[in-house]
Amino acid sequence: MTKSQSYTAKDIEQLPYPVNVQKRPNMYIGNPDSSGKLTCFREILNNSVDEFLSNNASVITVTRINEDEFAIADNGRGVPFDKQKKKKNALEVIFGELHAGRNFSEKTVYSTGINGVGASCVNALSEIFQVTSQRSNDVAHITFNDGIKTDLELKKDNSKLAKNKTGTIVHWRFNNKLFEENSVIDEKDLKQLLEETALLNDGLKINFINYFNEDESTKKEFTASRYGIGELLLNYSLFAEKEVKKLLFDPVSFKSSTINNTKIEVAFTYSESDNNDVIHSFCNTIKTSEGGTHVTGFKRAMSQNILAFIKE
């Protein structure tokens, strides 16, 4: 064995943002491949979903500009851009620093994400990252390059956005130097995420505008219908892949919010298929592919009630 290298206080490094994220992106987003990019996309999307879940937004517009460039807009309240106690603009803190946000209190957590880390991680891993926020007639625009702020502009009565309206637009282009080669988000995975998000949030409308894949329609709308999450059983692409045959009846769905104020929604049906059960579960709009106590509890309750009905 050879002697170890010097190990003193001088050898300890503390990396500043955004270098800390760029140096080890897998610590924050998993593999720096197409799945990691989809995680980044979900982080920005979830910010807009939170505005819907807090009853402040109804429409989200997703635009794919090219293979690695996206924009997500919502008609929510707009991200704050007044100054903090540290005299920094809130936009710069929220999107340009780690562990900054409002989702640390139980009262404000809505969807699952890397709370206080997600958007700033996407910023650090993007060669360009821009945010436009409108609150009433006041508009702010901030630009980052490689995670570093390069411009901040505050205006009143900006003609680009309608007056007396609010909302946020986040536009970014991934920095491919920080990702594996040929790591492009698959169109199918992107649409599946948008479909899931819309169907899991009844009343939310998601518009998808696609300029990247000319073979697809330029605009697609995702929204839940009268079946709520039961719509997943009718239109969900994964069920088609499982060769689930004709459904025997329309989805049965119900909601409950009686367990520690936790909202629960379930939808099920039967089909002519001889396959085993096909279950897709979600928690806070995020797919739980490994199941969980919510899945175990549902299966147990279903079995117990069917047995009780047979006995009766």
Q: What is the CA radius of gyration of the chain?
A: 22
Q: 């169109």: which residue's tokens? A: 187
Contact 205, 224 (CB under 8 A): no
What are the tens digits of pLDDT across the range 22-53? 999 998 898 999 999 999 999 999 999 999 98
Which residue stretches of the chain have pLDDT < 50?
104
Strand pairing class (205-210; 59-66): parallel
Query: C-alpha distances in angstroms, 311 versus 238, 275, 300, 306, 307?
Result: 35, 26, 17, 9, 6
What's the confidence (pLDDT) of residue 234? 74
Encoding tokens for residue 237? 């692409």
Q: Per this entry, what is the length of the chain?
A: 312
What's the confidence (pLDDT) of residue 227? 67
Angle at 69 between CA 68 and CA 70, to 5 degrees: 125
What's the confidence (pLDDT) of residue 117? 73
What's the confidence (pLDDT) of residue 270? 83
Contact 97, 118 (CB under 8 A): no
**DSSP per residue over 124-135, as a string?**
HTEEEEEEEEEE
**DSSP per residue over 274-289, as a string?**
-S------EETTEE-T
User: H or E element: which one contains 256?
Assistant: strand 252-259
